[in-house]
Structure 1
Amino acid sequence: MTRTVTTEEKLREFVKFSATVTGFNEFDLWGTGQAEAYYETVMDQEGRDALQKAISSVPSATPADPVVKSIIKLWYVGVWYGPELTGRVDVAAWTAPGRSGAKPAVPDSSQPEEGLPGQAAPVQQQAGEDRAGDSDERTPPFVVSPEAYTEGLLWRAIGAHPSGAKAPGYGSWANPPTLENH
């Protein structure tokens, strides 16, 4: 008879894995109050198989799995970015108005079809070509919960407080920051 792994055990495994990839200990991760929300987000967005693959990739020297990178970002900033798409260049996203230092995007009708001389054309998916995880229907980045921003590991890592939340107290700006030993 095979033993069924409970959701609580899967959540503990997720936190243990997350401690390995974030550099924070399990106690700190549980202390954010976001473990369950983050676990559910990964399960909803990527599924059980992708999470298991990510967890099994941890012993390698570098976490190259895109899901692992997304989970690290999730813990640090509280935003689900989703795995980066590989083999695809989205020129419009990099030249859209409003990006820091970017020029306004060129209207589609005025863009040359074959690009500039010496410039590689953007990679386009061919009809019928199947790329795992590569879809125009990806969920855009989103904040996982109202508390996710203030509980992000980023703030502890840089020895700061999130703007507009968890104020350090009146006059604390007069003292230099103290960095925790992580």
Structure 2
Amino acid sequence: MSSDLDNFVGLSSALTGIPTDRLAPTIDQVGLPSTFLAFITPRITPEVLNTLLTQYATLAADHIPPDQIAKAVLMDGSRPAVTQTAQAARSIMKLWLLGVWYQPYATGSYKSTDSTVVSDQAYIQSWAWKIAQAHPMGYSEMFFGYWNTTPPSLEDYTGVPANDQGASS
């Protein structure tokens, strides 16, 4: 039986298209998955989170492909779903990509207009930077003059192979 953290990482992978071993590497010095899960639980409510993770676990146990899991969570037929679970899933996608939590709906003391940078590491390690093959202003792990060399391929950053139909690396 998978834990909530495992299901959260699996769901996040299905939603973003980023492999689970990239979202939650074996050696993880930052620990974003557990930070994100703890952060969002009170904001979407444990009930909505449990529904979302159970939906993911059920579909994954049935060997449904990740893109179909994402479609089941996010869509209502050919239209975007407006359920709280779908809204929470969209905010989870933004959280991984931007490091910012956009409150999907009002609950408790949280308003639907709230947005919060979860932590400095969430912002620095957000996937938008990796996908853009860039880094946040004022922070870089690269050496002086790195901009003078050809960057690694997008596949090196994301683990997702480039293909003819998408952006090439």
TM range (shorter): 0.5 to 0.7
1:129-177 Cα shifts (integer Å, max 9, x gaps): xxxx478951721111221111101111111122211242211112343
Tell me the equivalent position of 1:61. Answer: 71
Q: Secondary structure of 2:52's partner?
A: helix
Q: 2:118 aligns with which of 119, 134, 144?
A: 144
Identity in percent: 26
Answer whether contact 2:101 2:115 (CA < 8 A) is retained.
Answer: yes
What amino acid sits opposite 2:126 in the alignment? G
2:18 aligned with 1:24: yes
Tell me the equivalent position of 2:61. Answer: none
Q: 2:96 aligns with which of 75, 80, 85?
A: 75
- Name segments (4+ residues, structure 1) moved above 6 Å: none
- Aligned-partner Cα distance in 2 for 1:151–1:60: 23
1:82-133 Cα shifts (integer Å, max 9, x gaps): 11x5xxxxxxxxxxxxxxxxxxxxxxxxxxxxxxxxxxxxxxxxxxxxxxx4
- Alpha-carbon RMSD across the aligned residues, in angstroms, is 2.6
Q: Which runs of 5+ in 2 are unaligned?
A: 57-67, 75-80, 161-169
Q: Secondary structure of 1:80's partner?
A: strand
- Aligned-partner Cα distance in 1 for 2:108–2:4: 28
Count of aligned pairs: 128
1:21-74 Cα shifts (integer Å, max 9, x gaps): 111111111145211110011102011221233342772626241111000001
What amino acid sits opposite 1:61 in the alignment? K
Change over 3 Å in CA distance of 1:22–1:144 after alignment to 2: same
Q: Which runs of 5+ in 1 are unaligned?
A: 86-132
2:167 aligned with 1:169: no
Answer whether contact 2:15 2:70 (CA < 8 A) is retained.
Answer: no
- Aligned-partner Cα distance in 2 for 1:170–1:25: 30
What amino acid sits opposite 1:67 in the alignment? A
Tell me the equivalent position of 1:51. Answer: 49
- Aligned-partner Cα distance in 2 for 1:177–1:13: 33
Q: Secondary structure of 1:59's partner?
A: helix
